[in-house]
Amino acid sequence: MTAVLSVKDLRKQYGTTIAVDGVSFELRPGEILGLLGPNGAGKTTTINMILGVLEPTNGSIAIEGIDLATARSQALTHTNFAAVYAPLPGNLSVVENLRIFGLLYGVKDLSARIKELLHQFNLGSFANTKSGALSSGEQTRLCLAKAMLNRPHLLLMDEPTASLDPATARDIRVMIRSFMSQGVGGVLWTSHNMYEVQEVCDRVIFLSHGRSLLEGDPKTLPAQHGKNSLEDLFVAVAREPLTLQQIGAYGI
């Protein structure tokens, strides 16, 4: 079966600074893959490269087997994303934003799809409200509705629940899980909430200083590395990346 996303030897260098250094991974259909790491580890840079808004210095990205560098438009047709730092234009209403992005993603039967998403993300009463007037939780729900517009095969979620209260964050996780249960694609998820990662992700990759250090099941990975929890492992990655890299390399 073709991987939803295939990233090979991805590297991004700005002058002498290396933001991402030889990262490779695959995302399988039906999988939620967590991309973890401290601030500046290269998670968002990696996501930006997968979204086609940042050109890699080296390496390749294929979405459902379509090479992003040579067929960007085709590769992005079934891709979408939600990120805490990319709110939709605040000067357009919820419905206007969804209609515009629906057209950009070539969504069929757009009016019905928008209606469906307004209901699914509990945005019906805000349909004609300017997005900028929504609370941060409502804006996040709108970004997620936009991200679901084209029923993406590859969904990129960069800290999607960062600004949400625990109850709303839980609802969002349920929605993503429900989307995944439809079996249409895979999700690449970044978060600093290790509880969330453990609950949502099937597999995680730890990045530090642009390099992939560890990979595995978030439920079993901490114990494999002598840590009590995923959060402890995260802290260790942030503070002792070299030690963990050696552990990863030698399989200790």
Partner 1 sequence: MVFDRVAAIILRQYYLLRGSFSRVLPLFIWVAIDIVLWGFLTRYLNSVSGSRIDFVPMMLGAVLLWDFFIRIMQGVTMAFFEDVWSRNFLNIFATPIRISEYVLGLVASSVLTSSIGVLMMLGLSTTVFGLSFFTYGLMLVPFILVLFLFGIALGILGCSAVMRFGPSAEWFIWPIPAMIAPFAAVFYPVSTLPGWMQAVSHLVAPSYVFEGMRMFLAGKVVPWQMLATGSALALAYVFLAGLVFKSTYLHAVRTGLIARYSAENLG
- Contact set with partner 1 (CB under 8 A): 14, 44-45, 48, 51-55, 72-74, 76-77, 79, 81, 83, 85-86, 88-93, 96, 99-101, 103-106, 146
Closest CB to partner 1 among residues 103, 223: 103
Q: Residues for the chain: how many in total?
A: 252
Supply 139's token pair. 């804006």
What is the closest distance, in whole angstroms, from the C-beta atom of residue 144 to partner 1 in the complex? 13
Q: Nearest CA to 214 among 242, 193, 192?
A: 242
Closest CB to partner 1 among residues 14, 250: 14
Closest CB to partner 1 among residues 15, 251: 15
Supply 225's token pair. 């590395």
Beta strand 58-63 pairing with 5-14: antiparallel
Q: Is 174 helix (H, G, I), strand (E, B) or coil?
A: helix
DSSP 95-132: HHHHHHHHHHTT-TTHHHHHHHHHHHTT-GGGTTSBGG
What is the closest distance, in whole angstroms, from the C-beta atom of residue 100 to partner 1 in the complex? 5
Closest CB to partner 1 among residues 142, 214: 142
DSSP 133: G
User: In angstroms, how far apart are the furthest CA atoms of the chain?
Assistant: 57
What is the closest distance, in whole angstroms, from the C-beta atom of residue 158 to partner 1 in the complex? 10
What is the closest distance, in whole angstroms, from the C-beta atom of residue 109 to partner 1 in the complex? 13
What is the closest distance, in whole angstroms, from the C-beta atom of residue 42 to partner 1 in the complex? 12
Amino acid letter for position 188: L
Closest CB to partner 1 among residues 86, 174: 86
